[in-house]
Amino acid sequence: MKLNHDIYKDKVYACWIGKNIGGTLGGPYEGRREKLDVKGFKTKPNDPLPNDDLDLQLIWLQAIEQEGPRNLTAEKLGEYWLSFIVACWSEYGIAKRNMQIGVIPPLCGDMENNVWKHSNGAWIRTEIWATLAPACPDIAARYAIEDAKVDHGMGEGTYAAMFVAAIESAAFVISDIRKLIEIGLAKIPVDCRMARSIRLLLECYDSGVPAMEARDRILAENADISDGWFQAPSNVSYAMLGILYGEGDFKKSMLLAINCGDDTDCTAGTVGSILGIMYGTAGIPTDWREYVGDKIVTLSINLCISWKKITSCTQLTDRVVRLAPFVLQLSKADFRKEVELTDGENEWEDEEVESFLLPYGKSEESDEMRRSVFSLKPHTTTTRFAYATAIVSYDGEPVLKRGGEKKVTVQFVNNVKAYGNQPYSLSVQLVLPEGVSADKKEFEVYLPHWTSVTLCDCLSVPVEITFKAEEKLRGVNKAYLLVSAEGRYTVGCVPVVLLNRE
């Protein structure tokens, strides 16, 4: 698959311009519960509003520039969050506090976050992953998962991020919104609330239900989570409603999404970014583009410490376009299709585009994708160290009460792509905090390699560890698994966090 460099760059720029327009047009109405009748801007010309939807993506760009496209994990993004992101509202604040006391992603997005882990903080910041991985929806979704896990754990907010990132990535080569929605649905569980809400929207649209009546049905469907407001299933559906009922018209689509109410800057911003990617700058009305201008105003970033400041959509586009070939190059060995930026015409086969409809994890063959698929369940963390990845699954929340027990299951995945396809005998030692004991102090486990007849997918057998607490117990308890392999000098250090909530 070949993408013309100039066309790609124009779409990236249109994505950020569309995002800025939507955030500025919808921002003044954020949180309004009623249906609205917005017809235009309330701001002054060339005065775009600051928007955390865009802010956080500037930090993610710096993270991938500094850390490299390979192995950009939720743990690393969490560290960048602690350093550069000052916003502390809703899930942002809960996740940040959890990380500050030692709870690692995705547990920090799950703990004491039952309402906000289903909300909007992650799907609104997926454009950075899509623009870095054009026409690679699985890769964009994988990055979006690592991002979303920081503040949404394995809630509906993470599924929403997968859905939107896949649509935005595929939109670089597909301009049929119905096809794009099908691709987004293919990447998330069929029975999750996010998928159910989108299917309800499609049923309404196909049945000729008016747009605002469809909005009411979606709201009623999700009324049981946070009173139906500021939640991802509804708001993503409002954005898709705008594009579907707006029939690709930029202004009509954006105003429809805003007039649904709720998280209006987010829904409008995503409408603008998706249509920008689909149609490029030619699809953005000149008067709205000139009204908002090129400037980016930040809100949530700590400017008092080192940060490569970005002040315009032009600068952001240039940084993304320079980095994208490296993301695509590193993906060549792992992806069943090759995406390349060239000076020639756009070229792709129908079957390449049809492969976008494969379920998440079925297109990409990489250690990162394997780890991502295994970690897509609640109360689970992953830690990569050279030749293996540890998967730690808690029996419920990572809470250990005085005198109580907590069961934790540990498995290991062989990193066969990066470190060679060979088996290992792993030795694991437990380092325990004061006041905590375990039924195992050390154990060994066999880690198989890949063969054509291997049914375990390079995965070790699970090992269950039971941790027990004494009466004297700290609030935050950190155990560590020290993992070594014969013939390898790297020792993996796998954290197990146990919280006393009494």
pLDDT (average), residues 70-89: 91
Q: Do residues 399 and 335 share a domain?
A: no
Q: How many domains does the chain have?
A: 2
On whether the CB atoms of residues 412 and 389 are closer than 8 A, the answer is yes
Q: Helix 5-26 and helix 250-258: axis angle, to 10°?
A: 40
Is the residue at 202 inside a domain? yes
Among 327, 357, 387, which residue terminates a domain? 357
Per-residue pLDDT of 278-311, as tens digits, reads 999 999 999 999 999 999 999 888 887 767 789 9
User: By C-alpha distance, which of 353, 312, 450 is closest to 1?
Assistant: 353
Per-residue pLDDT of 5-35, as tens digits, reads 999 999 999 999 999 999 999 999 999 999 9
Q: Do residues 215 and 246 share a domain?
A: yes
Query: Can you give the residue range of the structural domain that contains 114?
Result: 2-357
On whether the CB atoms of residues 367 and 418 are closer than 8 A, the answer is yes
E strand residue ranges, 269-404: 340-342, 380-385, 388-394
CATH of the domain at 145: 1.10.4080.10
Q: Do residues 47 and 173 share a domain?
A: yes
Per-residue pLDDT of 384-430, as tens digits, reads 999 999 999 999 999 999 999 999 999 999 998 888 889 999 999 99
Lowest mean pLDDT segment, chosen from 122-136, 167-181, 298-312: 298-312
Nearest 10 degrees: Cα torsion 319, 321, 326, 330: 120
Is the predicted pLDDT of residue 93 greater than 70, yes or no?
Answer: yes
Lowest mean pLDDT segment, chosen from 102-111, 142-151, 202-211, 251-260: 102-111
CB atoms within 10 A of CB 437: 13
Is the predicted pLDDT of residue 148 greater than 70, yes or no?
Answer: yes
Q: Do residues 419 and 346 share a domain?
A: no
Is the residue at 220 inside a domain? yes
Q: Do residues 44 and 154 share a domain?
A: yes
> How is residue 297 written in tokens?
């105003």
Residue whose tokens read 């066999």: 446
Per-residue pLDDT of 44-56, as tens digits, reads 999 999 988 898 9
pLDDT at 455 (0 to 100)? 58
CB atoms within 10 A of CB 313: 24
Residue 456's pLDDT band, with cuts at 50, 70 and 90, is low
Q: Do residues 163 and 198 share a domain?
A: yes
Is the residue at 366 inside a domain? no
On whether the CB atoms of residues 120 and 159 are closer than 8 A, the answer is no
> How is residue 59 written in tokens?
């930090």
pLDDT at 336 (0 to 100)? 66
- For residue 376, the one-letter residue type is L
Is the residue at 365 inside a domain? no
- 382/429 Cα distance (integer angstroms): 17
Q: Do residues 233 and 177 share a domain?
A: yes
> How is residue 15 written in tokens?
């994505």
- Kind and range of the H or E run holding 428: strand 424-431
Q: Do residues 156 and 253 share a domain?
A: yes
Q: Do residues 445 and 482 share a domain?
A: yes
Is the residue at 368 inside a domain? no
Q: Do residues 436 and 350 share a domain?
A: no
Q: Do residues 175 and 30 share a domain?
A: yes
Residue 89's pLDDT band, with cuts at 50, 70 and 90, is confident
What's the gap between Cα 416 and its chain centre? 25
pLDDT (average), residues 455-473: 90
User: By C-alpha distance, which of 112, 62, 116 is closest to 92?
Assistant: 116
- 197/186 Cα distance (integer angstroms): 14
pLDDT at 306 (0 to 100)? 64
Q: Is residue 147 classed as helix, strand or coil in its secondary structure? A: helix
Is the residue at 166 inside a domain? yes
Is the residue at 364 inside a domain? no
pLDDT at 333 (0 to 100)? 64
Residue 82's pLDDT band, with cuts at 50, 70 and 90, is very high
Per-residue pLDDT of 315-341, as tens digits, reads 999 999 999 999 998 766 666 678 999
Q: Do residues 278 and 383 share a domain?
A: no
pLDDT at 309 (0 to 100)? 86
What's the gap between Cα 307 and its chain centre? 22
Mean pLDDT, the chain, rounded, equals 93
CATH of the domain at 462: 2.60.40.10
DSSP per-residue codes, 31-78: TB-S-----S--SPTT-PPP-HHHHHHHHHHHHHHHH-STT--HHHHH
pLDDT > 90: percent of the chain: 82
- How far apart, in Å, are the Cα atoms of 207 and each of 191, 202, 238, 334? 22, 8, 17, 41
